[in-house]
């Protein structure tokens, strides 16, 4: 139990653990319907829901008698002969799943089939999604999220028993935010890339996961949703959309952190994304704000050379405040080289003494060098061997 293909996650593991923990935090004995709704969304099969429904509501010993003093133990555990062997109860079901989260598999693309494993096969290399197919897959994702109530917070559905005087105009709301009329219902065939990317970003800000739902029988009214949570919905949305962009070989991703969270940014093709994540969590609040701003400037989808220069200047300010630390930890010539680049190559200053006739591609190199140096000084500062006010000099 709690492993194998029947317990394959349809969500990122961390997101499931966060949502299950949030549900348990609201009540020790989480409401059964809320647990079932989470299990339905988070797993690829119906087995977790069926196992939850079949679980006893209280601990039962191996002779079938209620044992008020028994504590539920993980399914499959064994005890000494004659001892009780309680099952996982409904009240402990989510807790046990959280404990076993590391053994839950995450849904991934299937392993390559024969044609892809055979160099001479008819489909030896999987082709990327076309731009049109990527747009249609995105619209399919939004339809799925809409069915699951993720847009109900901003686009509430009608109910025969709960009429409202507020008319929901999805197109008007999207036009208010994006400035483009007649976007709803979504018509991907009419979008150019700029509209496509704009719709991706605006819907990121509108989704919210309903943690509760109830079925309204009258006139086949359907599901009603409540208890909306923005953070898990946006995390799931980014994960799903970024998979579509990756399959289409579009070198953009929705940022998950920083000043540009929820906005499409240029993808970094190597481990520099780890550097970005580390730098965004600087222990120095002032530096953290400047680093967030610099990263947002640099990786913006429409970043110009001037934007990149501004990002480098911002990082240079952080390093300038830490010059004492750099002098102590680096060779003096190395420390000087950092500022020589910024001061002499038309980055921090614009006058006739500056060298401006260099290839703008060097801006990328300078940015990553500076960001790595900022992250290095963060780690030096957190060692606790430097005065606490050094980063504010």
270-328 pLDDT, tens digit each: 567 777 877 787 778 888 888 889 888 888 877 888 888 888 888 888 888 887 777 77
Own/partner pairs, 155-159, CB within 8 angstroms, 24+ separation: 157/222, 157/224, 159/216, 159/221, 159/224
| Pairwise pLDDT comparison (26 vs 189), residue with the higher score | 189
Does this model's pTM top 0.75? My answer is no
Q: How far is CA 310 from CA 157, 219, 281, 301, in A?
A: 46, 60, 21, 15
Per-residue pLDDT at 393 exceeds 70:
no
**Helix or strand or coil: residue 117?**
helix
Q: 40 Cβ partners below 8 Å, 6+ apart?
A: 46, 49
């Amino acid at each position: 139990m709690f492993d194998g293909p029947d317990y394959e996650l349809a969500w990122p593991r961390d997101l499931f653990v966060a949502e299950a923990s949030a549900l348990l935090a609201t009540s020790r004995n989480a409401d059964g319907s809320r647990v079932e709704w989470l299990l339905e969304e988070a797993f690829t099969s119906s087995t977790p829901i069926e196992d939850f429904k079949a679980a006893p509501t209280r601990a039962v010993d191996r002779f079938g008698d209620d044992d008020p003093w028994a504590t539920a133990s993980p399914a499959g555990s064994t005890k000494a002969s004659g001892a009780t062997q309680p099952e996982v109860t409904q009240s402990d079901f989510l807790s046990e799943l959280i404990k076993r989260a590391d053994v839950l598999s995450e849904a991934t693309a299937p392993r390559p089939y024969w044609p892809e494993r055979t160099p001479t096969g008819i489909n030896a290399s999987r082709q990327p999604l076309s731009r049109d197919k990527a747009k249609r897959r995105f619209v399919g994702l939004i339809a799925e999220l809409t069915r699951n109530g993720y847009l109900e917070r901003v686009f509430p559905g009608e109910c025969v028993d709960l009429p409202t005087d507020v008319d929901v105009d999805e197109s008007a709301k999207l036009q208010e935010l994006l400035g483009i009329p007649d976007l709803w219902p979504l018509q991907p065939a009419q979008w150019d890339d700029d509209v496509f990317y704009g719709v991706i970003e605006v819907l990121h800000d509108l989704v919210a996961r309903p943690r509760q739902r109830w079925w309204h029988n009258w006139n086949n009214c359907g599901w009603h949703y409540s208890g909306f949570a923005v953070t898990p919905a946006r995390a799931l949305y980014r994960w799903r959309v970024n998979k579509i962009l990756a399959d289409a070989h579009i070198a953009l991703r929705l940022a998950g952190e920083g000043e540009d969270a929820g906005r499409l940014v240029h993808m970094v093709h190597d481990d520099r994304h780890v550097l970005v994540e580390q730098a965004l969590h600087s222990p120095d609040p002032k530096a953290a704000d400047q680093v967030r701003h610099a990263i947002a400037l640099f990786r913006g989808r429409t970043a110009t050379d001037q934007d990149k220069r501004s990002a480098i200047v911002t990082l240079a300010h952080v390093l300038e405040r830490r010059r004492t630390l750099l002098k102590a930890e680096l060779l003096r010539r190395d420390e000087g080289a950092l500022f020589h680049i910024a001061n002499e190559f038309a980055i921090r200053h614009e006058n006739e003494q500056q060298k401006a006739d260099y290839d703008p591609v060097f801006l990328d190199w300078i940015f990553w060098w500076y960001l790595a140096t900022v992250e290095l000084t963060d780690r030096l500062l957190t060692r606790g061997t430097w005065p606490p006010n050094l980063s504010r000099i």
